[in-house]
Each structure stands twice: as structure tokens, then as C-alpha cells.
Structure 1
Amino acid sequence: KLKQNKKGNEPLSVVAFKMYLGITPSVTCINKRRNKFSLILNKNPLVDFVEELPAGRSSLCYCNLLCGVIRGALEMINLAAEVTFVQDRLKGDDVTEIGITFLRKLEDKKCKKK
């Protein structure tokens, strides 16, 4: 069974998701190095009004916006990450799961005064 990792990732799941989407995903750590974890969304408000994917468009992901927002927010604090959907309720899964893998700490580029 996967262990819960609430210490380092709690602000992302508790504050940001609650503030912007009105939900609180659970955080599940995937490995011992603690650089890979998943956000489990039991409810996803971005798909409330989507009944099913259009025919021939099964690879379409309505919520890919969330991956970009998370990746961009992590880059703002100098963390490079890979953010992908692991499970999607629109594709028949029980929950929506977003996988996040920290790749490296980005170098801080400071402005040089001329």
C-alpha cells in the first residue's frame, strides 16, 4: 500500500486546490526518494458538465490545463517537474489522478544590472 506524504506537499493540495477549485485532493507518495507523488481527485469540477468524450477523440484530456498550472507554479519556485494524468474519470477510471515527478532544482537566474 502507498504511504501518505502530507508534510511537503500539503500546501499544494490543501490550500491551492481548495482556493481555486473548491476541492481537496489526497496526496500519495509513490517512491522512497519522495520525488514522485500523485494527487488523487475524487471529484473534478472541471468535468462536471462533460458527459462523454466525442467519438474519435478518446485521447482528448479536458483537464490538461491543471498539469500546466502545476508545472508552471513549480517552475516559479525553481523546481522542474513532469506533471501528467495517470487516471481520468472521463476515460472510465474511478478517480482523477495527477502524477508529479520532481526532476531537478532549477538554477536561479538573477538579473544583471548594466
Structure 2
Amino acid sequence: MSRQSNRTTDSKKMLCKDYENDEEVNKQLDKMGYNIGVRLIEDFLARSSVGRCQDFRETADVIAKVAFKTYLGITPSVTNWSPAGDEFSLILESNPLVDFVELPDNHSNLVYSNLLCGVLRGALEMVQMAVDVRFVQDTLRGDNVTEIRMKFIKRIEENLPAGDE
């Protein structure tokens, strides 16, 4: 476990060296997470035997109660639903990704856990849901909780090649 977490920390240090500013590092962390999410969804569906969600509220519950519990050992709260029901917040009382992390003063705009946003976006895209995912609050930046905001954009229509119908 410690060997793997050292590798993750080392790769994030490399990102800070390779890119000009925190915004570029944040984009790369999101991209890395997206690539993980695209692959992780297959494992999740095989392990959990969760069927197709009927609506975005059900999707939010599955993410919080099954996915986060399975992969991070935590169960975030699903709160702050928009009146239209197309946007909500995941509130993480603790974030295991930042347990042993301190942001250097010169990287105050770095969103260390931005990887999670990419994972969620990539996984949901593979089940035909386009979403916007972003951090609103982060304990690493001094907030009381970590808040991830998710907004449903659209259902992705699967286009079959001609003749495959």
C-alpha cells in the first residue's frame, strides 16, 4: 500500500515540475482520473451487480453508497440538490487521498484530489452520461469538508455503425 501511495505522490510532484501552473496540473489530474474512470467502470459494474439507474438521483446514491464505499472506504453525503434535480453535491467528511498531504505555499491553487472529478466523469461517460464535476470545497485548502459538485449535462446517445443495428 505504501509503495503505491508513494508512486501517486511522486507522479503528482512530477506534474508540478512538468507544467507551468496549478491550473495545468489540475487539468492533468482530471485527465488522469478520466482515464482511470473509463476503465474502472467495468470493474465496478462487475463487482457491484448494479443495474441501470433510472434517474440522476439514483445515480448519485449509487456513486455515494456503493462506488465510494467500494474504492475509498467512505460514504459521502448526497446533498444540495438543485430545484431541477440535475445537480447535487457529494460531501466527504474525510478524503483518504489527502490524509498525509500538505499543499506547499506556492501551490495554493492546486486541487490535489482533482483526480476524483476525472474518475467520476470518465466512469459516467462510459454509461452514457455527460456530467460536469468540480471541487467546491476542499479540506486540504482549509475548508471544513470536501465538496464535489456534479451536474448532469445530457444523456449520450450511442451511435451504432451502419449495419450493426
Alpha-carbon separation, structure 2, partners of 1:92 and 1:80: 30
Task: Please report how far the alpha carbon of residue 111 of structure 1 lies from its aligned counterpart in structure 2 after TM superposition.
Answer: 3.7
Q: Which residue does 1:65 correspond to in 2? A: 115
Structure 1 stretches of 4+ with a deviation exceeding 3 A read 5-8, 111-114
Q: State the aligned residue count.
A: 109
1:90-113 CA deviation, whole Å, 9 max, x = no partner? 111000000000011112122445
Shift of 1:29: 3.6
Give the match for residue 66 of structure 2.
Answer: 15
Deviations 1:48-74 (A, max 9, x none): 011x21121101111000000000111
TM-score (norm 2): 0.62
Q: Secondary structure at the match of 1:40?
A: strand
Higher relative contact order (CA 8 A, sep 6+): 2
Q: TM-score when scaled to structure 1?
A: 0.88
Identical-pair percentage: 53
1:75 and 1:7 mapped to 2: Cα distance? Answer: 16
Larger Rg: 2
- CA–CA separation in structure 2 for the residues paired with 1:8 and 1:73: 12
In structure 2, the CA distance between the partners of 1:80 and 1:8, relative to structure 1 (3 Å rule), is closer
Q: From the superposition, tell whether residues 77 and 64 of structure 1 become closer, same or farther in structure 2 (CA, over 3 Å).
A: same
Match of 2:132 in 1: 82
Letter in 2 for 1:83: V
Aligned-partner residue type, residue 101 of structure 1: K
Please name the residue that 1:40 is paired with.
91
- Report the alpha carbon displacement of residue 7 of structure 1 after superposing the two structures with TM: 4.4
Q: Which amino acid aligns with 1:34?
A: G
- Work out whether 1:104 is the aligned partner of 2:137: no
Contact 2:57 2:85 in 1 (8 A): no
- The residue type paired with residue 132 of structure 2 is E
Structure 1 stretch displaced more, 104-113 or 13-22: 104-113
Name the aligned partner's letter for residue 100 of structure 1. M
One-letter amino acid matched to 2:124? L
Higher strand content, 1 or 2: 1
Structure 1, unmatched stretches of 5+, are: none
Letter of the structure 2 residue corresponding to residue 54 of structure 1: P
Q: CA RMSD in A?
A: 1.8
In 1, Cα distance between equivalents of 2:122 and 2:94 = 23
